[in-house]
Amino acid sequence: MKKISVCMATYNGGKYIKQQIDSILIQLSENDELIISDDNSTDNTIDVIKGISDCRIKLFFNQEKGYTSNFENALNQITGDIVFLSDQDDIWDSNKVEICLEELKTYDFIVSDCKVINNKNEIISDSYFELRNIKKNRLGNLIKFSFLGCCLAFRSDILKKALPFPSDRKLCTHDNWLFLVGAFLFRYKVLNNKLIHYRRHNENVSTLISKTSVWFKIKYRMYLSFFLIKRYIAN
């Protein structure tokens, strides 16, 4: 049986994190792991995590500030064959792991759709894909990055190409980089299944609408494309 590693990055997520952890652990076997990397939270996040008595939870601390580095730190700790990424404040649907594992028998990398909820667990969009009008093909997504890191799952082999992340954190975010590696260098599939409830609230790190300049977007894509080519030709 394939071992699962769920990687969660946390920062001041005490308000919602227990509900998310509960929705994950119920789907894991006793041999799987939930790796949590915390970015020096100042609220009760660590207390909540430590209050959940489960040996599958492995807590680490990020030494380099920022959410991309936080996810990279978690990914560096995995021991599993299958990797899921998780935010701290969403809720996984009860069939998420089952559906993803079935797809990962054929594909190396998958990304799914999700429903969007607010801080009261009320659905504000039935489909993130429709909300963002995403492009499902490789080049279309390079032009307009649309997928969420919390909706990614993949075989751990892709980390041989993805890690370490390109070093400029302003020009490399974990979700876009991992999608490019998974989609361009491995077998990938986009699932229409809505497998999580993705929470939007005032404390979210990410935004739905990009406010960066055209020049920055071009520079960002050129930077990631350069490193993608380097990883492709590397042994």
Could you state, in order of their start, the residue ranges of all structural domains in the chain?
4-233
Q: Which residue has the tokens 């089952």?
A: 98
Tell me the two tokens of residue 48.
């909540």
Residue 137: per-residue pLDDT: 84
pLDDT digits (tens, 9 = 90+) for 187-210: 999 999 999 999 998 654 555 555
Give the model's confidence band at 86: pLDDT under 50 very low, under 70 low, under 90 confident, else very high: very high
**Mean pLDDT of the region 11-36:** 97
Q: Rounded to an integer, what distance in angstroms lies between the CA atom of residue 194 and that of residue 198? A: 10
Report the DSSP pairing between strands 152-155 and 82-86: antiparallel
Q: Rounded to an integer, what distance in angstroms lies between the CA atom of residue 66 and that of residue 197? A: 24
By C-alpha distance, which of 115, 141, 137, 140 is closest to 128? 115
Q: Rounded to an integer, what distance in angstroms lies between the CA atom of residue 182 and that of residue 162? A: 8
According to CATH, the superfamily of the domain at 4-233 is: Spore Coat Polysaccharide Biosynthesis Protein SpsA; Chain A (3.90.550.10)
Instruction: For 92, list phi and psi in degrees, rounded to 5.
Output: -80, 135
Mean pLDDT, the chain, whole residue set: 94
Q: Rounded to an integer, what distance in angstroms lies between the CA atom of residue 76 and that of residue 92? A: 23
pTM score, whole prediction: 0.93
Residue 136: per-residue pLDDT: 85
**Least reliable range by pLDDT among 57-61, 98-102, 230-234:** 230-234
